[in-house]
Amino acid sequence: MRIAIAGATGTVGRHVLAAARRRGHETVPLSRASGQDVTTGEGLAAALAGADALIDVTSVETLSAKVAVDFFERATERMLAAEQAAGVPHHVALSIVGIDGVDASYYSGKLAQERSVAAGGVPWTVLRAAQFHEFAGQVMRRGSVGPLVAVPRALVRTVAAREVGERLVELAEGGPLGRARDLVGPEDARLIDLVRRRLRADGIRRPAFEVALPGLYWRSMASGALRGGAEAQRGAITFDEWLRSPNHTAP
């Protein structure tokens, strides 16, 4: 198959690209560096010619609901229009488990993206996944207070981005499914424990402490509502296995 990957340079996009190549597909990686911008539509028509599926793993780094909704609505609209023009028969998008009823902050953008995909007229599949093991590193970067690391209170079931990438390619190989079965990680954990394990593994001596943050977004993280239900598919790679793997690189 010829598979276009929007966001192929990102945390999970790199794994989507590698999995698609391992599985013998012809790949078309899209990113701004290679001349495709999903928010303006620049470069999409040429890139999508002859594609059998587009996997969308783009993102915007924000906690503003407005910025997130603007990004995901605009990007989805532009991609679907280009797919319709090029005759691409399958749009595969990645979303996040447990976000129903959490119309706040970044998740507002993901809910808007899911609505746009479902209403867009291109046959689709949406996979919802839990936070990636890599999430602990993103939290460490955002939560640095001098030498300290402030970690939001959160109950998580993180999954390896590598397994999410592999699953997205499998879904692209199949026909459009609508909502696919959720994918979550093998273990429950507190985010603060993952951050501490990561700091230890990287030999970094920085104290990490937990903070309870206000607002629906953070309350949902703290309650464990974003871990997915019992029916979710479980990934196999644990956080500690991921820490020891080449997929984890120390900062």
**251 makes contact with ligand NAP (CB under 6 A):** no
Closest by alpha carbon to 93, among 65, 67, 119, 70?
Answer: 119
Closest by alpha carbon to 57, among 109, 15, 12?
Answer: 12
Q: How far is CA 52 from CA 32, 36, 49, 94, 128, in A?
A: 21, 18, 9, 17, 22
**Binding string, residues 66-105; x marks residues near ligand NAP by CB under 6 A:** ----------------------------x-x---------
Per CB under 6 A, which region of 37-45, 148-156, 191-199, 205-213 contacts ligand NAP? 37-45
Q: Which is nearer to ligand NAP, 66 or 205 (CB)?
A: 66
Q: Exactly one of 58, 105, 116, 125 binds ligand NAP (CB under 6 A); which one?
A: 58
Cα 131 to Cα 166: distance, rounded to the nearest angstrom: 16
Smallest distance, ligand NAP to C-beta of residue 76, A: 10
Q: What is the DSSP letter of 127?
A: E
Smallest distance, ligand NAP to C-beta of residue 150, A: 18
Tokens of 238: 């644990």
Smallest distance, ligand NAP to C-beta of residue 64, A: 14
Q: Which residues of 229-246 are buried (b: 16+ CB within 10 A; e: fewer)?
A: eeebeebebbbeebbeee
Q: Exactly one of 9, 62, 64, 247 binds ligand NAP (CB under 6 A); which one?
A: 9
Neighbouring residues of 105: CB distance < 8 A, sequence distance ≥ 6: 63, 64, 65, 68, 215, 216, 217
**131 makes contact with ligand NAP (CB under 6 A):** yes
**132 makes contact with ligand NAP (CB under 6 A):** yes
**5 makes contact with ligand NAP (CB under 6 A):** no
Kindly list the residues in this chain that would bind ligand NAP in the complex (CB under 6 A). 6-7, 9-13, 31-33, 36-39, 57-59, 61, 94, 96, 110, 129, 131-132, 135
